[in-house]
Structure 1
Amino acid sequence: MFIYSFVLMAVLGIGVWLGRSGINNPSISENRQQVTDISGNVNAKDSIVNKSEEKKTNDNNKTNDIQSVEPSSINSIRSVKVKRVLDGDTIEIEGGERVRYLGINAPGSGQPFFTEATRENERLVVGRTVNLEFDIQTQDRYGRLLAHLWVGDVLVNKEIVKNGYAVSETIQPNVKYQDLILKAQQEARTACRGLWAGLCSQKSESSCIKIVNINADAPGNDNENKNGEWIEIKNT
């Protein structure tokens, strides 16, 4: 009887131990599997996050590399020495190239104020080292350079118009300083300077002129067709 009781107690003890240990307990095994799965998912998630952060860091480094690259700039300024003045809006520079001033039109050979305009241009630039500032189109069909001409901080194109020896001429696409030149023309016109003087002799506010037509570029070679550039004006 004693032996039977001992065996029974031993069996019950092993059962309790097995229950507590979770062996052959589907519920506990399932819970352990869930814990394993959760742990695995967390580890997987950590791995994904780490890779994502690594990719973001690499992308940021690439972005920083792109932003640090400065855009290349095209040099549009050329320093030259003026050899001689041809007229009020054209010069010849050392090397034989000719430069036509952008945004203005001065009287051609044989026209009123041709001599005065040429002398004004000579006064401003002859024998000097000047800066040519190019716009969109750098040459005309005759091979002349097209430029805004600077002597120090003075825009010669504007100065000639302001003093009344040329008129504003707008030809696309080279219009960078056209607003300044138009204002200079208005100033010369109001003050009756240069070519405006004889047309504003009455000094009344209503006595002035209006430009109705401009032929800015003579057909053919300028040296052969000296009267091909002209302006048409009328009293207002």
Structure 2
Amino acid sequence: MLIFEFKTYGKPKQFTAVDDAIRTAQFVRNSCIRLWMDNQNTGKNDLQKYCAILAKTFSFADELNSMARQASAERAWSSISRFYDNCKKKIPGLKGFPQFQKDCRSVEYKTSGWQLAQDRKSITFTDKKGIGKLKLKGTRDLHFYQINQIKRVRLVKRADGVYIQFCINVDRSENIQSSGNSIGLDVGLKDFYTDSDGNTLSNPRFLRKGKKVLKRSQKRVSRKVKGSKNRGKARHILGKRHLKISRQRKDHAVKLAR
């Protein structure tokens, strides 16, 4: 399974509709968790059926695509099944009892509710939420894959905008010729890694370098009044700072591995 990510561009009204779709997905997931808590022997099929009941009861739930509602129910069941597995394995400590989600940042569509343009540069969401057509910008090329290979489409909200992830069903295989040499790696805190040949790579410490900026941004958030627009702006800036550090870490690790 490959996951390709693109940044989206659209009008403010469209991104408001994206927020509404994410809140609806969170509502469906939390409702399924509540159903499981209140009724014993609730299974995965019961949660899927409950999505249709929610759509009939709440108009905003009916506006979301049916498969997107099912995907939210699957997320709820994933947390429930993980809790069951931890109990069966008798893992010490907390077993991960399913919790209600307070800050959802994504909504997942399956094979319906969206339509990809033939030039693969835009995507249109066809449910009743009113998201409409969003432009895609990224370095990946979707022309190499058929539409039926795309099994999931996710709308992910981050501090710097909204992204779309395409989950593509494809078998990956790499033919790598063995060099006949083996090496041992030790990952640590002082050095990023040390190999068995004595080579070391220093730890870049992105978090420590950005600590001053994070501390200043966090102070600005704490000084603002809760619920105010200025606090929302300060939280948005703080989120961007954290996002930059996480991307620096990932970029360093991926490039080093390659």
When normalised by structure 1's length, the TM-score is 0.21
Specify which structure has the bigger relative contact order, considering alpha-carbon pairs within 8 angstroms and separated by 6 or more residues: 2
When normalised by structure 2's length, the TM-score is 0.20
Give the helix-richer structure, 1 or 2: 2
Bigger radius of gyration, 1 or 2? 1
